[in-house]
């Protein structure tokens, strides 16, 4: 992963833990309304992909035990990992693109409600993503993938050559020379692996996205509702389709790109379709970016505009993340796919303990507060969820009490210690296992390996009934803590 040049090392800063009475009287542990339902606390576990479903995307026992473990910590809300709305192969990532996924998801919602003693609501993050190929061997790229055009013939001066001669010639050139003959997109495909963009309107399936996505998202939302899941988080963040429509880099000319209102058009249309399908009673919100954190990308002003428009449209909550784009991802090895959390924008999304003068804790607070202010100034009281490096009661409470956000989420801290919300609430904060922001978990995510935490995946391995990874080397869920 990318690291800031300063390379300053940070330790977790838990501050003072509250006693039980202080915790119970705190803002973090007071209820909040999300649309027509109420969360019992403003504590939140945002979406985290653990790579535990079947290859087809069906809920497994490992998926159930992963979410059950978080539910035992009784956060106000858990958001199920990014769950694919289309039936495209994507490894062991949950899917919801067909009714056959409903029974597994129903078991999941029952499991979470039971394990949390009814304290936790369960939302699901619905994702659409475009295709991405692994970085090819150069020879394979020139022989099979590159589409030879007249432009290549002209620039190489190869008018009389056969297509095969051109392919063979390109295969002999070094990187610098190729820069003279290939377009930037072709070079990107060669160096990073081919990746579809929402701006590829030359392909009919990309051109048609605005026509098909509202229904695909609505179908998925209806399935989630049928499965007893309590609400929907539309994934409008990071490197995926909907975020790419919102991006300042989206220059589609069909009314779905370019100006701010055109870029917001499809996200609003998707929401309108979902709302129509699931009704007003059912919570629907989205996760989007406070800043794309890439050159030429959307910034916090764009995000404030989107926030106001999404609130105006009637979203029940807005969750803010940042960065996590393909645009600045590191070059993958040959045979591997690019991963959107390896560049600087990825760092902004999941900052690690090696940081700059701003540190890894709370980098998303200031932009989120600006966006929330814009939404409040426009007259909307939509709850705003904030995440990014939060691992202390003091910090969460300060954020809420200063009006920077309405709900404070923690992903990696909750992974390091799924019981931490309950420990804090019971006045037992000293027992919290603090995340060190090592990003070991994120490294596993990058390799599509079952996600675990380095603080607990090798301990108490010989306890009875410990679920282990396929190689038997890691435990799959955090050791049990009894209150």
Ligand X SMILES: Cc1cc2nc3c(=O)[nH]c(=O)nc-3n(C[C@H](O)[C@H](O)[C@H](O)COP(=O)(O)O)c2cc1C
Residues of this chain that interact with ligand SF4 (CB under 6 A) are 412, 415-416, 435-441, 453-455
**Residue 136 binding: pick among ligand X, ligand SF4, none (C-beta 5-8 Å cut-off by kind):** none
Q: Which does 416 bind (CB under 5 to 8 A by kind): ligand X, ligand SF4, none?
A: ligand SF4
Q: Which of 454, 418, 433, 455 is nearest to 14 (CA)?
A: 433
Distance CA 228, CA 431 (A): 33
Task: Compute CA 420 distance to the chain's CA centroid, rounded to the nearest angstrom.
Answer: 22
Whether the CB-CB separation of 27 and 401 falls below 8 Å is answered with: yes
Rounded least distance, CB 196 to ligand SF4, Å: 30
Cα–Cα distance measured from residue 179 to residue 145, given in angstroms and rounded to the nearest whole number: 17
The residues, any chain, with a CB within 8 Å of residue 205's CB and separated by 6 or more, are none
Of 397 and 445, nearer to ligand X (C-beta) is 445
Applying CB under 6 A, the site for ligand X has a residue count of 24
Indicate the residue among 207 and 448 with the shorter CB distance to ligand X.
448
Mapped onto helix, strand or coil, the DSSP state of residue 240 is coil
> Which partner in ligand SF4, ligand X, none is near 387 (CB below 5 to 8 A by kind)?
ligand X
Q: Which is nearer to ligand X, 92 or 136 (CB)?
A: 92
d(CA 115, CA 465): 18
- Binding region for ligand X (CB under 6 A) out of 137-145, 165-173, 212-220, 407-415: 407-415
Region of 152-160, 191-199, 388-396, 400-408 interacting with ligand X (CB under 6 A): 388-396
Question: Pick from ligand SF4, ligand X, none: which does 81 bind, CB < 5 to 8 A by kind?
Answer: ligand X
* Residue selected from 242, 441, 450, 478 as contacting ligand X according to rule CB under 6 A: 441
- 250 or 410, CB closer to ligand SF4? 410
Residue 453 interacting entry, from ligand X, ligand SF4, none, C-beta within 5 to 8 Å by type: ligand SF4
Nearer to ligand X (CB atom), residue 94 or residue 170: 94
Concatenating the DSSP letter of every residue in 13-81 gives: ---PPP-HHHHHTSSTTS-EEETTEEESSSEEE-------S-TT----HHHHHHHHHHHTT--SEEEEE
Nearer to ligand X, 156 or 337 (CB): 337
The Cα-based distances of 411 to 41, 80, 371, 390 in angstroms read 16, 12, 21, 8
Within 1-60, the residues that bind ligand X by CB under 6 A are 46-49
Q: Which is nearer to ligand X, 186 or 439 (CB)?
A: 439
Strands 77-84, 43-45: pairing is: parallel
Which is closer to ligand X, CB of 359 or CB of 479?
359
Binding string to ligand X for residues 125 to 144, with x set by CB under 6 A, is what? x-------------------
Q: Which listed option, ligand SF4, ligand X, none, makes contact with residue 454 (CB within 5 to 8 Å by class)? A: ligand SF4
Residue with tokens 């890439």: 294
Element (H, E) at 7: none
- Minimum distance between the CB of residue 456 and ligand SF4, rounded to whole angstroms? 8
Our CB check for ligand SF4 shows the closer of 342 and 382 to be 342
Residues 6+ apart with CB under 8 A from 381: none
From the CB of 260, what's the least distance to ligand X, in Å?
A: 22
Q: Do the Cβ atoms of 239 and 283 come closer than 8 Å?
A: no
Q: Judged by CB under 6 A, does residue 411 bind ligand X?
A: yes
Q: How far is CA 245 from CA 48, 188, 353, in A?
A: 22, 20, 32
- Per the listing, tokens 């404070």 go with 408
Residue 291 contacts ligand X per CB under 6 A: no
Residue ranges in 227-363 assigned as alpha helix (H)? 241-246, 260-278, 300-313, 344-349
- State the pairing for strand pair 32-34/37-39: antiparallel
Q: Which one of 28, 40, 66, 81 is in contact with ligand X (CB under 6 A)?
A: 81
DSSP symbols for 176-239: HHHHHHS-HHHHHHHHH--B--TT-TTSHHHHTHHHHHHHHHHHHHHHHHHTT--EEEEE-STT
Chosen from ligand X, ligand SF4, none, partner binding at 83 (C-beta under 5 to 8 Å by type): none
Nearer to ligand X, 34 or 166 (CB): 34
Query: Can you give the binding site for ligand X, defined by CB under 6 A?
Result: 46-49, 81-82, 125, 237, 287, 321, 349-350, 387-390, 410-413, 441-442, 445, 451
């Amino acid at each position: 992963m990318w690291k800031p040049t300063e390379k300053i090392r940070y330790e977790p800063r838990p501050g003072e833990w509250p006693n039980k009475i202080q915790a119970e009287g705190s803002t973090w542990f007071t209820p909040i309304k999300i649309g027509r339902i109420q969360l019992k606390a403003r504590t939140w576990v945002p979406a985290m992909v653990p790579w535990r479903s079947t290859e087809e995307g069906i809920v497994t026992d490992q998926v159930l035990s992963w979410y059950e473990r978080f539910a035992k910590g009784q956060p106000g809300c858990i958001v199920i990992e990014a769950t694919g709305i289309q039936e495209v192969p994507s490894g062991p990532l949950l899917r919801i693109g067909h009714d056959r996924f409903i029974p597994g998801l129903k078991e999941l919602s029952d499991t979470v409600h039971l394990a949390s003693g009814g304290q936790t609501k369960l939302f699901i993050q619905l994702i659409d993503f475009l295709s991405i190929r692994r970085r090819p061997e150069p020879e394979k790229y020139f022989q099979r993938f590159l589409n030879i055009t007249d432009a290549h013939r002209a620039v190489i001066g190869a008018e009389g050559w056969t297509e095969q001669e051109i392919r063979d010639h390109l295969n002999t050139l070094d990187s610098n020379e190729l820069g003279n003959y290939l377009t930037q997109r072709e070079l990107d495909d060669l160096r990073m692996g081919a990746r579809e963009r929402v701006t590829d309107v030359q392909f009919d399936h990309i051109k048609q996205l605005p026509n098909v996505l509202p229904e695909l998202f609505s179908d998925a939302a209806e399935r989630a509702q049928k499965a007893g899941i309590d609400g929907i988080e539309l994934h409008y963040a990071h490197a995926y389709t909907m975020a790419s429509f919102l991006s300042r880099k989206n220059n589609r000319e069909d009314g779905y790109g370019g100006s701010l209102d055109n870029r917001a058009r499809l996200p609003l249309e998707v929401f309108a379709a979902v709302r129509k399908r699931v009704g007003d009673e059912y919570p629907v919100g989205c996760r989007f970016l406070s800043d794309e954190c890439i050159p030429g990308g959307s910034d916090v002003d764009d995000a404030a505009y989107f926030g106001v428009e999404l609130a105006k449209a009637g979203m029940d909550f807005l969750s803010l993340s940042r960065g996590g784009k393909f645009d600045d991802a590191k070059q993958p090895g040959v045979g591997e796919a690019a991963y959107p959390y390896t560049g600087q924008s990825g760092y902004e999304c999941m900052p690690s303990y090696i940081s700059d003068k701003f540190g890894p804790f709370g980098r998303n607070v200031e932009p989120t507060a600006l966006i929330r202010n814009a939404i409040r100034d426009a007259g909307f009281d939509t709850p705003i969820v904030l995440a990014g490096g939060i691992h202390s009661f003091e910090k969460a409470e300060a954020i809420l009490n200063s009006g920077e956000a309405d709900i404070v989420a923690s992903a990696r801290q909750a992974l390091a210690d799924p019981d931490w919300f309950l420990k804090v609430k019971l006045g037992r904060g000293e027992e919290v296992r603090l995340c060190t922001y090592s990003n070991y978990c994120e490294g596993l995510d990058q390799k599509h390996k079952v996600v675990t935490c380095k603080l607990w995946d090798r301990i108490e391995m010989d306890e009875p009934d410990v679920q282990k990874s396929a190689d038997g080397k890691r435990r799959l869920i955090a050791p049990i803590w009894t209150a």
